[in-house]
Amino acid sequence: MFRTSSIAALLVTLCATTAANAQTGGWISANAVLAKPASSSTTQTSSFRCCSPNFFGTFDSTAVVETPDKVSFDIGGGVRFLRQFGVGVAVTRYKASETANISFSVPHPLFVGRPATASGPSQAPLTQEELALHIEARYVGNLPHASISVFAGPSYFSAKREMIEDFRYFENLGSSTLNYTVSLADNTTQSYDLSKWGFNVGVDVGYYIGEFVGFGVLVRYSRAQVDLPNPLALGAPTQPLDLGGVNFGGGVRFRF
C-alpha cells in the first residue's frame, strides 16, 4: 500500500507551485469524515459434497464480516487556474477490524435429511483497510467569505482484506440416540492486497472567517470494484467487492 507520507509530500509540492503563478490561487483542506463503505459486509460461501463413505450430502458454510461506518480523514489541496478552475489531489483512509460470523451445516453420517448445524465467531477480528488517492478537477466559486466547489476525477485504491481460509469443527454422535451435533473449533485466515483505479465526485463548501482561513463541509463519493478471492470455497474463486463509498464531514480550510 502506498504511504501517507508520500501523498503529503505531493500535496505540499502541488500547492507550492502556486507561488510561481500570480493569477492563480490554491486551497488546502483537512477534514474529519464519517466513512460509509460501498460494501456494508463481505460474505463468503462454500458448498460441496461430503462426507461419509456410505453417504454423501452437502457441506454448506458461510462466513460474514461486517464493514461498519467509521470516522476517518480526508486531506487534500490543489491549485486554481483562470480563477474558477483547479486541479488537486486528496487522500482518504478507512480501517476496521471486525469479527466474522461462521455458520455451517454438516450432513448426518447415517441419516439423510438430518444435518447438524452450528455457528460461532472467528478467533480474531478480520482486518479491512483502504487507502485512496483522489485526483480532482474542480470548478471553484469564490466569494469574499465563502467558496463552493464541485469536483470529479479518477481515484487509485489500495486495499487489504483478511478472509476466512478454513475452519475446524468438533462433532459428536450419540451412541444410543444417534443424535449428531457439531460445534466450531477454530479457523485460519488469509490476507489479500488489492488495488484498482476508480473515480470520485463531490462538493466542498467553505466559510471563511478572514480572507484565507475558514471551515467547511465536504461530501465525496468514490467507487472501484475489485475481484476478491474466496479461500473458503474450493478453488478459491473470486467475487466482486466494491471499494470506496461516501465520506461526509468537515474541517478547516485555507485558500491563497
Triad 50, 230, 121: Cα angle to 5°: 80
Count of CA atoms in the C-beta half-sphere (13 A) of 105: 12
- Whole-number average pLDDT of the chain: 88
The Cα 215–Cα 206 span in angstroms is: 6
In the chain, what are the domain boundaries?
A: 4-255
- pLDDT of 22 reads 33
Q: Structure pTM?
A: 0.84
pLDDT exceeds 90 at position 135: yes
Distance CA 100, CA 124 (A): 8
- Class for the domain spanning 4-255: mainly beta
- Coil, strand or helix at 7: helix
| Contacting residues for 235 by C-beta, under 8 A, at least 6 apart | none
Q: 217-232: per-residue pLDDT in tens?
A: 999 999 999 999 999 9
CA 30, CA 200: separation in Å to the nearest integer?
A: 17
pLDDT tens digits for 67-90? 999 999 999 999 988 778 999 999
Closest CA to 146 of 215, 221, 89: 215
**Residue keyed to cell 466474522:** 100
- The predicted-structure confidence for 15-49, as pLDDT tens digits, reads as follows 444 333 334 588 999 999 999 999 999 999 999 88
Mean pLDDT in residue range 54-58: 75
Q: Which residue has the higher pLDDT, 162 or 140?
A: 162
84: amino acid identity, one letter? Q
- Tally of CA atoms within 13 A in the half-sphere of 49 that contains its CB: 4
User: What is the Cα–Cα distance from 179 to 172, expressed in whole angstroms?
Assistant: 8
- Strands of the sheet containing 116-121, edge to edge, are 41-51, 56-66, 101-106, 116-121
Q: How many CA atoms lie within 13 A of 126 on its CB side?
A: 28
* More confident position, 11 or 82: 82
79 bridge partner residues: 26, 87
Of 136, 154, 141, the residue nearest 25 (C-alpha): 141
Distance between CA atoms of residues 185 and 38, nearest Å: 32
Q: Are 227 and 42 in contact (CB under 8 A)?
A: no
Mean pLDDT of 153-181: 93
How far, in whole angstroms, is CA 111 from its chain's centroid? Answer: 44
Q: What is the pLDDT of residue 40?
A: 93
Residue found under cell 463531490: 202
More confident residue, 14 or 87: 87
